[in-house]
């Protein structure tokens, strides 16, 4: 199922990549923060009939939370457990998750995933325009902490999405906004994602290629949600370098 993907400027003009779980390992931090918040909430209120209060797990993160805005993620998980809360409580839980994320991030730091910098650098050298997309409102801080802000030409994160009133993934709005900021047609753009909601957004947006990054053995699900091809990590994406004019000139005879 895994394959090698080759990106060429002949076929595409831009690459729009997710941040958490693709470029940085902050997806792990997000999952830890969600678990801390949800498990704390579930432990403090006795379950009513029809409610499931078992601890938050990795499958819950992948199915209901990963890649989505905080409030959407909180609502999706609670609905899956048959739990109803008023809007103000839902907002409070989302805020608590953000505080937990920032606390864990401060302690754990930001780790770049293998191959991220080399891929982004190769894309820039080949003339691709690059945007980063994240549902997180902490995207800018994560980029700064990782030292990779300058590797992107555009950013569409949770702050910008809220300002523009853009719906979250799996709606394609954030990816379409990113392509627009790169002045690139979706059909000439590549989406790189590790989340089910993200690859679905790329497919709904009619992007030219949707690459699913599968580090956890969920490639079949990524394909089912819209990925065109699966790579095990960013080393599975090759970039055709730009050949200097001098190297293509025919010698005079």
Cis bond upstream, residue 170 (ω within 30): yes
Residue 67 scores a pLDDT above 90:
no
> What is the per-residue pLDDT for 184?
98
155 neighbors 180 (Cβ within 8 angstroms): no
- The reply to whether 238 belongs to the active site is no
Q: What percent of the chain has pLDDT over 70?
A: 95
DSSP, collapsed to helix, strand or coil, labels residue 147 as: coil
Does pTM surpass 0.75? Answer: yes
pLDDT band at 26 (very low <50, low <70, confident <90, very high): confident
Of 59, 58, 60, 99, the closest CA to residue 83 belongs to 60
List 13, 18, 153, 194, catalytic entry = 18
Cα(121)–Cα(117) distance, integer angstroms: 6
Which tokens go with 17?
A: 């990549």
| Residue 20 a catalytic site member | yes
Q: Which of 138, 133, 136, 132 is nearest to 152 (CA)?
A: 132
CB 1 within 8 A of CB 122: no
Helices and strands of the chain, counted as H and E runs? 11, 8
The pLDDT value given to residue 182:
98
pLDDT tens by residue, 94-128 = 999 999 988 988 888 889 999 999 999 999 999 99
The mean of the pLDDT values for the chain is 92
Is the confidence at residue 19, as pLDDT, over 80? yes
Give the model's pLDDT for residue 245.
61
pLDDT at residue 145, rounded to an integer:
87
CA distance 115 to 104: 24
Q: Which domains does the chain have, with CATH numbers?
A: 5-25+111-245 (3.40.50.1000), 27-108 (1.10.150)
Over residues 157-174, mean pLDDT = 95
Contact by Cβ (8 Å): 131, 153: yes
Say if residue 249's pLDDT is above 60: no
d(CA 184, CA 39): 42
232 near 211, Cβ under 8 Å? no
Higher pLDDT, 20 or 207: 207
User: Could you count the other beta carbons within 10 Å of the beta carbon of residue 229?
Assistant: 18
How far is the C-alpha of 82 from the C-alpha of 103, rounded, in Å?
29
Q: Is the pLDDT of residue 250 over 70?
A: no
Q: Residue 41: pLDDT above 70?
A: yes
Catalytic, out of 20, 25, 157, 194 = 20
């Amino acid at each position: 199922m895994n394959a090698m993907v080759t990106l060429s400027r002949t076929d595409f003009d831009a690459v729009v990549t997710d941040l958490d779980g693709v470029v940085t390992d902050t997806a792990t931090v997000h999952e830890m923060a969600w678990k801390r918040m949800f498990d704390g909430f579930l432990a403090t209120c006795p379950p009513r009939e029809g409610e499931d209060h078992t601890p938050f797990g990795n499958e819950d993160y992948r199915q209901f939370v990963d890649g989505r805005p905080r409030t959407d993620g909180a609502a999706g998980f609670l609905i899956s457990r048959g739990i109803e809360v008023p809007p103000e409580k839902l907002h409070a839980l989302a805020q608590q998750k953000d505080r937990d994320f920032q606390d864990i991030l401060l302690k754990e730091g930001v780790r770049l995933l293998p191959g991220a910098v080399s891929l982004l650098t190769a894309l820039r050298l080949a003339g691709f325009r690059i945007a980063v997309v994240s549902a997180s409102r902490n995207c800018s801080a994560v980029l700064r902490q990782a030292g990779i802000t300058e590797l992107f030409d555009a950013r569409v994160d949770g702050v910008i999405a809220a300002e523009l009133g853009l719906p979250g993934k799996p709606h394609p709005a954030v990816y379409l906004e990113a392509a627009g900021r790169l002045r690139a047609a979706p059909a000439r753009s590549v989406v790189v994602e590790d989340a089910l909601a993200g690859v679905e957004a790329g497919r709904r947006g009619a992007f030219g290629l949707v690459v699913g990054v599968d580090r956890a053995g969920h490639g079949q699900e990524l394909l089912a949600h819209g990925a065109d091809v699966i790579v095990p990590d960013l080393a599975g994406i090759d970039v055709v370098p730009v050949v200097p004019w001098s190297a293509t000139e025919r010698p005079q005879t």
